[in-house]
Amino acid sequence: MGTGVLGGAWDWLGDGANWAGENGVWNRLAEHVYVSGLALALACAVALPVGLWLGHVGRGGALAVNISNAGRAVPVFAVLALFMVSPLRNAGYTPTVVALVLFAVPPLLTNAYVGLREVDRSVVEAARGMGMSGRQLFWKVELPLARGLVMTGVRSAAVQVVATATIAAMVGQGGLGRIITAGFNTYNTPQVVAGALLVALLALLVEGVLVAADRLVAPSSRHRRTLRTEHS
């Protein structure tokens, strides 16, 4: 791919006609953001509490770690296809959202579990020795210390969900993947490149937003962490 193709993609993106209408960039982008955002939020709501709880009680380690390996073996395309031949096909964006949730839950769960187990055991023992209850231990010691790792897992899941949501186009569902498949079907390489660039940019943007959100929460927990180190 030389500059010719990239230049062609740039021209494609510069043409206002490609941004309007149902097949236009704005609509496909909105669909993509809606579908991947909802899927990520739902996946976090399911996976994080379970993973963190398993890590807190120190049980189900084999399950929590192996579930992400098992998840790798299930093709998102096949899951989507199964939903599309079930009654779910008439439920709007639901098939894509559910498939992406199933795709994102395993790595999120594993990461939350590992993040919590990575917390220095001596710190946990010390907190327990100070008479902290299980709940206090979780909220005041384990969660703040595991936050960094858990957030890294959420970020990589977010990028993967944004990239994978393009597969929805293969079963005729919406999102930026449709720009790629439409370009593919008409041998319009600049359009394919433009679609891929849009997905990559969205992934970078999501990563950036999550890093910024993380920084906003970070100072307070860093403050608490230094205080705790002084105490111990």
Interface of this chain with other proteins, residues 36 to 75, rule: CB under 8 A: 69, 72-75
CA separation for the pair 164, 83 (Å, rounded): 16
CA separation for the pair 209, 157 (Å, rounded): 14
- Decide whether 112 or 166 has the Cβ nearer to other proteins: 166
189 binds other proteins (CB under 8 A): yes
210 binds other proteins (CB under 8 A): no
Count residues near other proteins (CB under 8 A): 39
Contacts 24+ apart (CB under 8 A), 118-127: 118/146, 118/149, 119/145, 119/146, 120/145, 123/228, 123/232, 126/232
CA separation for the pair 102, 106 (Å, rounded): 7
Site string for other proteins, 132-161 (x = CB under 8 A): ---------------------------xx-
Nearest to 98 by CA among 84, 109, 110, 119: 84
CA separation for the pair 12, 31 (Å, rounded): 20
Interface of this chain with other proteins, residues 83 to 102, rule: CB under 8 A: 84-86
Interface residue with other proteins, options 25, 40, 164, 174 (CB under 8 A): 164
Interface residue with other proteins, options 20, 78, 217, 227 (CB under 8 A): 78
Interface residue with other proteins, options 77, 136, 147, 152 (CB under 8 A): 77
- Residue 140 and residue 132 in contact, taking contact as beta carbons nearer than 8 Å: yes
**Positions in the binding site for other proteins (CB under 8 A):** 1, 5, 69, 72-79, 81-82, 84-86, 159-160, 163-164, 166-167, 169-172, 177, 180-181, 183-184, 189, 192-193, 195-196, 199-200, 203
